[in-house]
Amino acid sequence: MAGNVLEFTDDNFQTEVLEATVPVVVDFWAEWCGPCRALGPVIEQLSNALGSQAKVGKLIVDNARDVASNYGITNIPTVIIFKNGEPITRFVGLTSLQQLQKAVTEAAG
Protein backbone atom coordinates (compact mmCIF):
# COMPACT_ATOMS: atom_id res chain seq x y z
CA MET A 1 0.00 0.00 0.00
CA ALA A 2 1.22 3.48 -0.79
CA GLY A 3 2.31 6.13 1.69
CA ASN A 4 0.74 5.95 5.12
CA VAL A 5 -2.10 3.68 3.99
CA LEU A 6 -2.10 0.46 5.99
CA GLU A 7 -3.06 -3.00 4.74
CA PHE A 8 -5.71 -4.71 6.86
CA THR A 9 -6.22 -8.49 6.75
CA ASP A 10 -8.24 -11.16 8.55
CA ASP A 11 -5.15 -11.67 10.73
CA ASN A 12 -4.53 -8.08 11.84
CA PHE A 13 -8.05 -6.62 11.79
CA GLN A 14 -8.65 -7.20 15.50
CA THR A 15 -5.50 -5.41 16.65
CA GLU A 16 -5.21 -2.74 13.94
CA VAL A 17 -8.88 -1.74 13.70
CA LEU A 18 -11.01 -3.02 16.56
CA GLU A 19 -8.45 -2.31 19.30
CA ALA A 20 -7.25 1.03 17.89
CA THR A 21 -7.29 4.08 20.16
CA VAL A 22 -8.02 6.47 17.27
CA PRO A 23 -10.73 6.34 14.58
CA VAL A 24 -9.93 3.90 11.76
CA VAL A 25 -10.96 4.29 8.13
CA VAL A 26 -11.23 0.94 6.32
CA ASP A 27 -11.57 0.86 2.54
CA PHE A 28 -13.03 -2.52 1.53
CA TRP A 29 -11.92 -3.06 -2.08
CA ALA A 30 -10.62 -5.43 -4.77
CA GLU A 31 -8.01 -5.13 -7.53
CA TRP A 32 -10.52 -6.01 -10.25
CA CYS A 33 -12.98 -3.26 -9.18
CA GLY A 34 -12.70 -0.10 -11.31
CA PRO A 35 -14.46 2.23 -8.85
CA CYS A 36 -12.24 0.82 -6.08
CA ARG A 37 -9.12 1.75 -8.03
CA ALA A 38 -10.59 5.23 -8.64
CA LEU A 39 -11.09 5.67 -4.88
CA GLY A 40 -7.47 4.67 -4.13
CA PRO A 41 -5.95 8.15 -4.59
CA VAL A 42 -8.67 9.64 -2.35
CA ILE A 43 -7.79 7.15 0.39
CA GLU A 44 -4.10 8.09 0.05
CA GLN A 45 -4.93 11.81 0.24
CA LEU A 46 -7.09 11.16 3.30
CA SER A 47 -4.27 9.30 5.02
CA ASN A 48 -1.84 12.12 4.33
CA ALA A 49 -4.32 14.78 5.48
CA LEU A 50 -5.21 13.03 8.74
CA GLY A 51 -1.71 12.13 9.90
CA SER A 52 -1.93 10.67 13.41
CA GLN A 53 -5.56 11.79 13.92
CA ALA A 54 -6.76 8.44 12.51
CA LYS A 55 -5.56 5.21 10.93
CA VAL A 56 -6.38 4.74 7.26
CA GLY A 57 -6.13 1.41 5.52
CA LYS A 58 -7.40 -0.89 2.82
CA LEU A 59 -8.75 -4.42 3.08
CA ILE A 60 -8.84 -6.63 -0.02
CA VAL A 61 -12.19 -8.40 0.24
CA ASP A 62 -11.04 -11.39 -1.82
CA ASN A 63 -8.28 -12.07 0.73
CA ALA A 64 -10.23 -11.22 3.89
CA ARG A 65 -13.60 -12.85 3.37
CA ASP A 66 -14.27 -13.31 7.09
CA VAL A 67 -14.01 -9.62 7.91
CA ALA A 68 -15.92 -8.59 4.78
CA SER A 69 -18.68 -11.02 5.64
CA ASN A 70 -18.83 -9.90 9.29
CA TYR A 71 -19.52 -6.32 8.18
CA GLY A 72 -22.00 -7.21 5.45
CA ILE A 73 -19.88 -5.98 2.57
CA THR A 74 -21.92 -6.75 -0.55
CA ASN A 75 -20.83 -3.81 -2.73
CA ILE A 76 -17.38 -2.34 -3.18
CA PRO A 77 -15.87 0.06 -2.66
CA THR A 78 -17.28 0.40 0.84
CA VAL A 79 -15.57 2.63 3.39
CA ILE A 80 -16.37 2.12 7.07
CA ILE A 81 -15.13 4.39 9.83
CA PHE A 82 -14.61 2.60 13.14
CA LYS A 83 -14.37 4.19 16.57
CA ASN A 84 -13.70 2.19 19.72
CA GLY A 85 -14.05 -1.02 17.72
CA GLU A 86 -17.52 -0.17 16.40
CA PRO A 87 -18.51 0.82 12.86
CA ILE A 88 -19.99 4.31 13.07
CA THR A 89 -20.17 5.55 9.47
CA ARG A 90 -20.44 3.69 6.16
CA PHE A 91 -20.00 4.96 2.61
CA VAL A 92 -20.82 2.74 -0.37
CA GLY A 93 -19.44 3.65 -3.80
CA LEU A 94 -17.15 6.51 -4.73
CA THR A 95 -16.86 9.03 -1.92
CA SER A 96 -15.19 12.43 -1.89
CA LEU A 97 -12.19 13.38 0.21
CA GLN A 98 -14.30 16.08 1.86
CA GLN A 99 -17.04 13.64 2.91
CA LEU A 100 -14.49 11.26 4.39
CA GLN A 101 -12.58 14.01 6.22
CA LYS A 102 -15.80 15.37 7.71
CA ALA A 103 -16.87 11.92 8.92
CA VAL A 104 -13.46 11.24 10.53
CA THR A 105 -13.40 14.66 12.19
CA GLU A 106 -16.85 13.98 13.65
CA ALA A 107 -15.73 10.54 14.82
CA ALA A 108 -12.63 11.96 16.47
CA GLY A 109 -14.52 14.74 18.21
Q: Is 62 a member of any domain?
A: yes
* Each residue's pLDDT tens digit, 49-96: 998 899 999 999 999 999 999 999 999 999 999 999 999 999 999 999
Q: Is 14 a member of any domain?
A: yes
Measure the CA–CA gap between 4 and 6, rounded to whole angstroms: 6
- Residue 102: CB atoms within 10 Å: 12
pTM for this model (two decimals): 0.95
Residue 109 banded pLDDT, cuts 50, 70, 90: confident
Give the pLDDT of residue 3.
Answer: 60
* Each residue's pLDDT tens digit, 36-51: 999 999 999 999 999 8
Tell whether the model's pLDDT for residue 13 goes beyond 90: yes
Which residues does the annotation mark as catalytic?
Answer: 33, 36
Q: How many domains does the chain fold into?
A: 1
Angle between helix axes 97-108 and 34-50 (nearest 10 degrees) is 50
Give the pLDDT of residue 51.
Answer: 87
Q: Is 38 a member of any domain?
A: yes
Q: Is 68 a member of any domain?
A: yes
Tell whether the model's pLDDT for residue 1 goes beyond 70: no
Q: Is 1 a member of any domain?
A: no
CATH of the domain at 101: 3.40.30.10
